[in-house]
Amino acid sequence: MLIEGWTTTLGILIRAISDRYGGEGLDLAKKAFKELGKVAGSEGLKNLKIKDRGIEAFVQLMEPWNLVFKIKIKSKELIESSNRVILIIRVSDCLLAKYWKAVNAPPEMCDVWYSFDQGVAEAIHPKMKFRITKSLYKGDEYCERVIELEK
């Protein structure tokens, strides 16, 4: 129940920020979540003694969060080329989306939330990028997370 309460509270808080401050407030929330991700990523690397600074480090750091928020991975696809590595993770079920819908959180909720993941990515490697290309919360069939690292 703790996770559900936290998720609901966050949705209400971001809705209030969006209602009051619009895009400027959402940008501030994204910046804060990204900074939090950088701190969590740096601490996670240190505490878990992860030496790798590639895509696998991101997967290792984010796995506990996936378990906590009951995020069900539908598929993973790794694409490697001579100059980059891309991991595409598709999510079929997400506790976050369920509770955010219940409190009418803004459509940008995933963008705010996943700014944390971008911060984690940057803590691992300055050239690592994270983005969401599909979102259950926005009505897509699944969430699609893309992690990319230039070699």
CB 57 within 8 A of CB 45: yes
* Domain locations along the chain: 2-150
With 0.85 as the threshold, say if the pTM is over it.
yes
pLDDT grade, residue 145 (50/70/90)? Answer: very high
Q: What is the pLDDT of residues 105-140, one digit of tens each?
A: 999 999 999 999 999 999 999 999 999 999 999 999
Mean pLDDT of 28-38: 98
pLDDT in tens, 43-90: 999 999 999 999 999 999 999 988 888 899 999 999 999 999 999 999
- Check pLDDT > 80 for residue 1: no
What pLDDT score does 139 carry? 93
Contact 129, 118 (CB under 8 A): yes
CATH architecture of 2-150: 2-Layer Sandwich (3.30)
- 3 band by pLDDT with thresholds 50, 70 and 90: confident
Does 24 score more than 80 pLDDT? yes
Q: Cα–Cα–Cα angle for 111, 117, 122, nearest 5°? A: 120
